[in-house]
Amino acid sequence: MQEIVDTVMSPAFLATMLAAVSAFATILAIVMPILARDQLNQRMRVMALERDKLRSQRLAELTRDRVGTVKLRQTPKGYMQQIVDRLDLRSQFDNEELRNKLKMAGLRGEAPLVAFMFFRVVAPPLVFLAALFYLFVLSDTQASAAMKLAYAVAAAAAGYYLPNLFIENLVQKRQQAIKTTFPEALDMLLICVQSGMSVEAAFGKVAKEASNQSAELGEELSLTTAELSYLPDRRIAYENLAKRTALPSVKAVTTALIQAERYGTPVGQALRVMAKENRDMRMSEAEKKAAALPPKLTVPMILFFLPVLFLVILGPAAITFWKFQ
């Protein structure tokens, strides 16, 4: 037994064991990376397949409207296209500002652009002819022919701006619909991100849920999901969402997402802060409307409520007074 202990504790044996362990560790360090599977590349391939699947799904959904029968981007009408090309209206009206305005109204593709330029030219003469027919045939206005012609010219000048008014009306209605539903959608997005979902999957899930309450917001979030899937930089997708909506609340959220993407801060933390700010903004708007209600009710109360109140209070006394006269 003493001989075994002496052998084990001898410097030669210890040096041999250390050399053997060092050689085994060296071989293991060289061979293991070669034998190990490339998990990073495999994970990237899986993510690429999932992204392609998500992209194709979103693009397939975006080719249908709310009913699922009409494509999102339509081809322009033939006669409109011919008039626009013959008069070269693109050089006069087609610009980035107009395209952004149409996107804000939910009108995408070449068909709305061609239709806008067509009606921008056709509306004034149509309004002019309609005004002439009304003034000279249907109306009994006691005015000279020159004055009626001046009225028709003024109506034609107003008709030139009718397409702009129509687009502005669509933009305001769409913004109001998005603004009403966006805080709830932001809360759902925060829940999805905190549960471990990726940003693309979270946007896709929220787009489906938000479509039940606001088809406009669901459409915008679906477009953002598709752009996040195929654009090389997520910042472009977030900026496009802010441009299409043109709402301060949405722009603030996209700015926070861009900063989180750039500086590596947690997305959930940024979304939590923005969700709280959106709730505070909604509460402040509700308080502002409530504070503006009393001045708005002053005139209706003076015109409609007080006379009835005086009649109810003083009516019986007046009847009694006249009865005993």
Mean pLDDT of the chain: 79
Please compute the mean of the pLDDT values over residues 148-174 and round it to a whole number: 89
Q: Which residue has the higher pLDDT, 190 or 231?
A: 190
Whether 300 has a pLDDT exceeding 60, the answer reads yes
If pLDDT is split at 50, 70 and 90, which confidence band does 169 have? Answer: very high
Q: Which range has highest mean pLDDT (60-74, 236-250, 306-320)?
A: 236-250
**pLDDT, tens digit (0-9, with 9 covering 90-100), for 128-155:** 898 888 888 777 777 778 888 888 888 8
Q: How many angstroms separate the CA atoms of 199 and 271, rounded? A: 11
Which residues, in sequence order, are CB contacts of 111 under 8 Å at separation 6+?
Answer: 73, 74, 75, 76, 77
Q: Locate the domains of the chain by residue range.
A: 78-160, 176-291
Residue 73 has pLDDT above 50, yes or no: yes
Instruction: Please tell me the predicted confidence (pLDDT) of residue 62.
Output: 53
Residue 166, SS3? helix
Give the pair of three-digit tokens for residue 316. Answer: 């019986």
User: What letter represents residue 33's amino acid?
Assistant: P
Give the residue, 265 or 192, on which the prediction is more confident: 192
- 33 to each of 45, 89, 117, 262, 271, how far by Cα in Å? 20, 65, 64, 32, 40
Residue 197: per-residue pLDDT: 83
Asked if the model's pLDDT at residue 254 lies above 80, the reply is yes
Tell me what pLDDT residue 52 has.
60
**CA 119 to chain CA centroid, nearest Å:** 27
**Percent of the chain clearing pLDDT 70 (strictly above):** 82
| pLDDT tens digit sequence for 11-23 | 776 777 777 777 7
CA dist., res. 152 & res. 165, Å (int): 19
